[in-house]
Structure 1
Amino acid sequence: MTRNDLILRPITGRDELALFTRLSYVLDEELEDDLAAGRRRPEWLWVALHDDKLLARVAWWCRVGDDSPFLLDVFDLADSADRVDVGERLLRAAMAEVVPAGTRPPEYGRFIPPDWRDDEVSRRVVEDRMAVLERTGARLFVERLRLEWRPGTPIPEPSGRLTFRPFRDTEEVLELMTRAMDGTLDAHSRDDLTRMPAREAAIRHYDDELAHYRSPRDWWRVATLPDGEPVGFVTPARNDYNAVIGYLAVLPEHRGNGYIDEILAEGTRILAARDVPRIRAATDLGNVPMAKAFGRLGYVNFERAITMTWE
């Protein structure tokens, strides 16, 4: 195939979603609603075509109200001998038009099977896409566990060691988030701390994620000792797609006392009481204490996710 044989272009609109979804991925069922809500735009969904055959596709996502893409979350290659080369050509062409000049490209995120390294087909799919992104200057940033609590899974009764209350105000949210940054095992937070103070990193995390939840903030809970001293917090919430445990932390001076299990149980209890079909959560593969806490409460590791970034 010559360079002139390949057509690289964005889709024209929702009328071409059938073309775009000739290759498949778990997010396909959300594309139409995302376009309608403004979380995606047709000019951010690109295809590589040869004789009307879809060889590759790429798409970006944003939060409602944003003017620029926040995440590269769809990137698929048809099975062909030159798939990596085709993918690179598509990604470079699309990035040149979608990513504002002079800015760092948005992160790439991909959901993958939990056993992807042990399955030959899954491994090739993941590694092909990583190879394309590496050619454009990206690197693997973190691998994460995607977790799910399902109705009927038992939730332990409160032990009485902790008391839970709503946050008083946004300032208290930011104060406790800032304190929780000390010794964090979260890769994104650790990276932020290399470039900014803990308070600024907390504000950034709040603005990028917590501020966009669709549920009431009075679901969020501060965990305290009987004398009122905070030991941690949790933000059970709804995002655009699921009920989630958004942020969970134990403050540094209280780590190692088993409080993480009780705080997670409280957040799960709040969402389960609303008859949600599932509760989603995620944590870095390297955050072993957090991963073990989810496992003890019956959360299932149904997927993993990889994140790649550009310098």
Structure 2
Amino acid sequence: MTPVEIEAEIGAKRLRPEWSVLALDDDMIVGRAMWWSRDGQTPIALDVWDARCDHPEATTILNDLLTRGHALLADAGVDVPLQHTMRIPTTWRDDELIRRDVAVKTAAAAAGGLARSNERRQFQWDAGSSMPPEPHRLRFEPADDSTFVEMFARAAQGSLDVMTRRELAVTDPLTLARGEVDYYRSCPGDRDWWRVAYDLAGNVVGVAIPSATPTNRNVGYLAILPEHRGHGYVNDLLAYITHFHVREGALCITGTTDAVNTPMALAFNRAGYQCTETRIELEK
């Protein structure tokens, strides 16, 4: 994160001093760890975590920041460790310094309890970019939470999403779906934006959830039910969400997908989105 972004998050109380740790060397800041909260009440992620790469003890600094921070959060009743996302250039594998930095942080994260990693791609649509055609093969209707729970559970089967597959290894589809609905309800986007997609024969094809982050509009969630995959409906759902946000005046729309989810990445490209960064998510 840039200093301006960090200052804005502190001002919004999503980053707070009591959730932050600094590493000092002769009064010079050489490392920092800052945990983030969506609502300013309980931290849910390690947002800023870095050490000066030219410092001879960079690895030790990263480890000690986690140790100290986890102790402070645990004393406050927070279940640690919390996930961390590394944001790096899309060409990071071509840069030796970045590759080394990723390796150092991944090892330090594993030592601090964040042993699992998942590489993701961040996409962005900006005003003036090409627009996907309006979807005409589907109609989009609101529905109650129980319907969305059912749709999330059905869509989880055969999903390419890494987190979904990990969750299904330890829980059942309905439990996973309830957690997903709760998560998207907690996001800044409006619940009234959610839609179920039907084909012209009245069959449920999937779901489209336009959402938002604290800073911009977001694709949120879209999924095709297993029996309707392979017909290009992903383009229709993404087009619906994109046009929805643009009609609401959005100048920037973001979306993220796993690196292994090639069909979704291609859909973003077709819809006028550009890949802006790689994210490596580290979690327990």
Measured against the shorter chain, the TM-score band is over 0.9
User: Residues 163-205 of structure 1: CA distance to partner in whole angstroms, max 9, x if unpaired?
Assistant: 222x221111211111111111111111111121111111112
User: Residues 94-149 of structure 1: CA distance to partner in whole angstroms, max 9, x if unpaired?
Assistant: 21212357944111112111111111222222222222212324224210000001
- Alpha-carbon distance change, 147 to 159 in structure 1, aligned in 2, over 3 angstroms: closer
Q: 2-side partners of 1:227 and 1:267: how far apart?
A: 22
Alignment TM-score, normalising by the size of structure 2:
0.92
Q: Contact 1:221–1:267 at 8 Å: present in 2 too? A: no
Which deviates more, 238-247 or 85-94? 85-94
Alignment TM-score, normalising by the size of structure 1:
0.85
- Alpha-carbon distance change, 216 to 127 in structure 1, aligned in 2, over 3 angstroms: same
- Alpha-carbon distance change, 251 to 187 in structure 1, aligned in 2, over 3 angstroms: same
- Aligned to 1:286, what secondary structure does the other structure show? coil
Q: Give 2:208's aligned residue.
A: 234
Give 5+ residue unaligned stretches, structure 1: 1-24
Q: Give 2:74's aligned residue.
A: 99
Q: 2-side partners of 1:283 and 1:46: how far apart?
A: 31
1:179 aligns with 2:154: yes
Work out which of the residue numbers 127, 133, 142 in structure 1 matches 2:118: 142
Q: 2-side partners of 1:159 and 1:217: how far apart?
A: 22
Q: 2-side partners of 1:71 and 1:145: how far apart?
A: 19
- Aligned to 1:126, what secondary structure does the other structure show? helix
Q: Contact 1:37–1:64 at 8 Å: present in 2 too? A: no
Q: 2-side partners of 1:36 and 1:253: how far apart?
A: 47
TM-superposed CA distance for 1:48, in Å, is 0.5
Give 5+ residue unaligned stretches, structure 2: none
Larger Rg: 1
1:90 aligns with 2:65: yes
Q: 1-side partners of 2:270 and 2:140: how far apart?
A: 21
Instruction: Give the % identical residues.
Output: 35
Q: 2-side partners of 1:48 and 1:213: how far apart?
A: 32
How big is the alpha-carbon RMSD for the aligned residues of Structure 1 and Structure 2?
1.9
Q: Say which structure, 1 or 2, has more relative contact order (CA 8 Å, 6+ apart).
A: 2
Letter in 2 for 1:153: S
The runs of at least 4 consecutive aligned structure 1 residues that moved more than 4 Å come to none
TM-superposed CA distance for 1:214, in Å, is 2.7
